[in-house]
Amino acid sequence: MSADLSSAFKAFFRKDAAYPKFKTKHRSKKSFRIPQKGKVDVNNSRIYVQGIGWVKAVIHRKPIGKLKNITVTVNPSGTVYASCLFDDGLEAPVPELPEKPKVIGIDLNLERLAVCSDGREYENPRTLKQYEKRLRHLQKLLSKKKKGSENWKKFKTEIAVLHEKIANIRKDSIHKMTKKIVCDSQAEVIVIEDLNVSGMVKNHKLSKHIQDASFFEIRRQLEYKSLFYGKTLMTADRFFASSRTCHICGWHNAELTLSDREWECKVCHTRQDRDRNAALNLESFGLKALAGDAGEVKPLEMPTVDGRAAMHLRSMASVNEEKDHGYSMEAFRLA
């Protein structure tokens, strides 16, 4: 659609995405969009698709508002989803910070997926590792089949089903975690690090585990959920030494390695848990940035903060355009 092409080029010129690629049946996602003429019948569990008619669907919740369009997507596993966009007429809440807002810092890592400054921890489900043996077995069987044969298609579909299951388990755990962080923490401001994920995956020993952890998906969900619930999300600069700096005295541990999960400060002699210490430093970063002292967050011998946290604090309202316009997306699986 022309609207999609326009938004794709705008994202390209903002340097938020690569140059738009032409859609082909070989490499593109199989989907099409129906503007305005679709219908959703909740009572009879069906969706009207223009040109096809009424199709049975698994509708997990009752939608609210006026239907704007329907996007039908076919996954490699063969499952079909209809993503329905509704306009509920409500505007997204504007974040209002009190004089002394509650700030929570979150450190993302591989050992424990998220460690919060308030003491809460969320374990890494390591979803891919749970099904890796089964996935390897199916891929080995696929390699022995003639490409294009019926048995080849059978195993190809079975592998796609397993990949979809892994992705769904991963997304479910991340959704539950981010919902608890945004809603249950009662914090008005959430602070995370601007992780260089593309650079992290170049470590061939950890790249598979880094991709399985889905750091970008965690940040994406925190962004739109913070906006939806009227919270503020801040990001500390990726050069902010949250793990190496003692949150008590500010001493910088230049000798800290990735394998060191605990270390002792040579100034105040406090025993630090690496992830917990990083979360507390991120909380301190947010408090100082809100007070206007972003330039004094790091020790003098370290690179100074470039003011990005304050910029994010002002520009967070435009993160999710659909939420700004009061839209909600419902995805239903077609039976």
> Which is more confident, 42 or 97?
42
Distance in angstroms (rounded) separating the CA atoms of residues 7 and 162: 33
Do 195 and 238 touch, CB atoms closer than 8 A? yes
Q: Are residues 206 and 299 in the same domain?
A: yes
Q: Does residue 335 lie within any of the structural domains?
A: no
Q: How many CB atoms lie within 10 A of CB 71?
A: 17
Predicted confidence band at 186 (pLDDT cuts at 50, 70, 90)?
confident
**Residues 64, 302 contacting (CB under 8 angstroms):** no
Task: For residue 35, give its domain range.
Answer: 2-89
> Would residue 332 count as lying in a domain?
no
In the chain, how many domains are there? 2
Residue range 61-90, pLDDT digits in tens: 888 888 888 888 898 888 888 888 888 888
Q: What is the per-residue pLDDT for 327?
A: 57
Residues marked active site are found at 107, 193, 275
- Tokens 């079975």 belong to 158
Condensed to tens digits (0 to 9), the pLDDT of residues 211-221 reads 888 889 999 99
The fraction of the chain above a pLDDT of 90, given in percent, is: 25
Sign of CA dihedral 39, 42, 44, 47: positive
160, pLDDT greater than 90: yes
pLDDT in tens, 279-314: 999 988 888 888 774 433 333 233 333 333 333 333
β-bridge pairing 271-273 and 232-236: unpaired
User: Are residue 43 and residue 188 in the same domain, yes or no?
Assistant: no
Q: Classify strands 114-116 and 121-122 as parallel, antiparallel or unpaired.
A: antiparallel
- Does residue 95 fall inside a structural domain? no
In a domain, 42, yes or no: yes
Q: Are 190 and 233 in contact (CB under 8 A)?
A: yes
**Residue, of 327 and 17, whose pLDDT is higher:** 17
Same domain, 50 and 120: no
pLDDT of residue 318: 28
**Residue 163 in domain:** no
Residues 35 and 114 reside in one and the same domain: no
* pLDDT confidence of residue 28: 73
In the chain, % of residues over pLDDT 70: 86
pLDDT band at 319 (very low <50, low <70, confident <90, very high): very low
Q: Looking at the structure, do residues 112 and 75 belong to the same domain, yes or no?
A: no
Judged against a pLDDT cut of 50, whether residue 332 lies above it is answered with: yes
Instruction: Identify whether 153 is part of a domain.
Output: no
Q: Residue for token digits 């489900």?
A: 125
Q: Of how many residues is the chain composed? A: 335
To the nearest whole number, what is the mean pLDDT of the chain?
81
pLDDT at residue 161 above 90?
A: yes
Mark which of 89, 113, 147 sits at the end of a domain: 89
Inter-helix orientation angle 274-290/308-315, to 10°: 70
- Distance of alpha carbon 170 from alpha carbon 209, whole angstroms: 12
Q: What is the mean pLDDT of residues 38-55?
A: 88
Higher pLDDT, 154 or 205: 154
Q: Are residues 81 and 227 in the same domain?
A: no
